[in-house]
Amino acid sequence: MDDVLVKKEGDPVIQISVMLQNRVGSLSSLLKLIKKHGEEVVGFSMQDAKDATIVRLILTDPEKVRRIFQEKGIPHATCRMVVVATHDPSVDLEKCLQTLHAGETNVDFAYTLLSQPNGKSLLAFHLCDHLFGTEILRSAGIQVLYQQDISR
């Protein structure tokens, strides 16, 4: 079977955001810390500003990484993301956006994930209404993944 096995419902995918100073090696150090504790980055996005960079991470165990960041004094924020699996990213992205638009649900930001289970691309969306957005995507036949589906 070439489909990703997905539960009908589950825990939402959690993104952790960290603000890093724009210095050589700061991102590498952050990723080494995560890897040192046995966790993997599944999704990754950066937004650059003059003196700082916002790094958005989707991880195999966000709760564990959140605890590590707290212990190390690394300021961070978390939010829920809607992750969908796609066969054809360009077609499926348009379907997702049309579905969300029809439901009058705004996309705050989105990015692709690094993981590609069974050849499927994964798209992560931060929506103004996470629960409603998840439900309308699912009702449109779009495969929504949960934290358990992307954790290893």
Return the closest-CA partner of residue 104 out of 125, 123, 129. Answer: 129
Residue type, 121: S
Matching residue, tokens 């691309």? 121
Return the closest-CA partner of residue 113 out of 59, 68, 73. Answer: 59
CA distances, 73 to each of 16, 36, 84 (Å): 14, 17, 32
What CATH number has the domain spanning 81-150? Answer: 3.30.70.260
What would the two tokens of residue 35 be? 């890897």
Residue 75, pLDDT score: 95
**Calpha distance 79→51 (Å, rounded):** 23
Same fold, 13-79 and 81-150: no
CATH superfamily of 13-79: VC0802-like (3.30.2130.10)
Residue 131, pLDDT score: 94
What are residue 54's DSSP bridge partners? Answer: 19, 47
* Per-residue model confidence as pLDDT tens for the chain (152 residues): 334 444 467 899 999 999 988 888 889 999 999 999 999 999 999 987 777 889 999 999 999 999 999 999 999 999 999 999 998 888 899 999 999 999 999 999 999 998 776 778 999 999 999 999 999 999 999 999 999 998 86
All structural domains of the chain with their residue ranges: 13-79, 81-150
Return the closest-CA partner of residue 147 out of 7, 48, 4. Answer: 7
